[in-house]
Amino acid sequence: MRIFSPLYRWTMKWSRHPRAPWFLGMLSFAESSFFPIPQDVMLAPMCLANPKRAWWYALLTTATSILGGLFGYLIGFYAFSWIEPFLRASHYWVSYQTAVGWFETWGFWAVFIAGFSPIPYKVFTIAAGAMSMAMLPFVLASVIGRGLRFFFVAGMMAWGGEKMEAALHRYVDRLGWATVALAGACLLVYL
């Protein structure tokens, strides 16, 4: 069943849209403070579609992600008591409690790891504000972690270029179903 091929074609079409960098910047800002969809879903196809602009896209994503992270920090610092009931009711509460524990143990490194890894960075930005983490270490960890992640993604996509785009197009359905199967297996193990 070819479900992923049309989605791939649609994503690649939108990644070439003249306003795609604006959408990438807005998504990157929002993801770092409150939105659940990661920037990589736009960054990777945009870098595949236009490898010569990959470093610019990585810089844009990094900068807007850090601005969004600062917004998340402010949410945590000034409005945590207001959002706490929503956070408790969401699936992010366990992640938030983990973030608090990591802050108590590792501080700077917790933000760095969250910035680089697929761990929800937004949870750490809000937790950093709620715990009144010093601003300079927060920004420094965010710049390094987010920058490494987005420049790595951009570099890999630019390196692969048109050949990678063609290979992904050829195998996207197999990769998509393999990902679904892996997620299902992880869910079964987790439950």
Give domain limits for the chain.
4-190
Q: Which conformational region is residue 40 in: left (phi greater than 0), alpha (psi within -120 to 50 degrees), or beta?
A: alpha
Percentage of the residues of the chain whose pLDDT score is greater than 90: 34
What pLDDT shows up at residue 148? 95
- Tell whether the model's pLDDT for residue 175 goes beyond 90: no
Q: What is the pLDDT of residue 186?
A: 67
Distance CA 93, CA 75 (A): 15
Whole-model pTM? 0.78
Q: How far is CA 112 from the centre of its chain?
A: 13
Residue 170 has pLDDT above 90, yes or no: no
Tens-place pLDDT, residues 88-114:
888 878 888 888 888 888 888 988 888
How would you classify residue 136: left for phi > 0, otherwise alpha for psi between -120 and 50, otherwise beta?
Answer: alpha
pLDDT score of 19 more than 80: yes
